[in-house]
Amino acid sequence: MVSKPILKKMVLSFPGAEESTSYGYPSYKVAGKFFTRLRDEDDSLVMGVDSIDERDMLLAANPSVFHITDHYKNYPDVLVRIAEIDAKMLRGMLERRWRAIAPKKLTKPPSHPADTCKPRKKTKRAGV
pLDDT tens figures, 23-58:
888 999 999 999 999 998 999 999 999 999 999 999
C-alpha separations of 28 from 2, 56, 116, 126 in Å:
17, 24, 33, 63
pLDDT of 40 reads 87
Do 79 and 72 touch, CB atoms closer than 8 A? yes
Note the pTM of the prediction, 2 decimals: 0.81
b (16+ CB within 10 A) / e for 44-68 = bbbbbbeebeebeebeeeeeebbbb
**pLDDT mean by block of 10 residues, the chain; 128 residues:** 91 96 92 94 95 97 97 96 95 96 83 55 60
Which of 3.90.1150.30, 3.30.420.40, 3.40.50.10470, 3.30.70.20 would CATH assign to domain 4-107? 3.90.1150.30
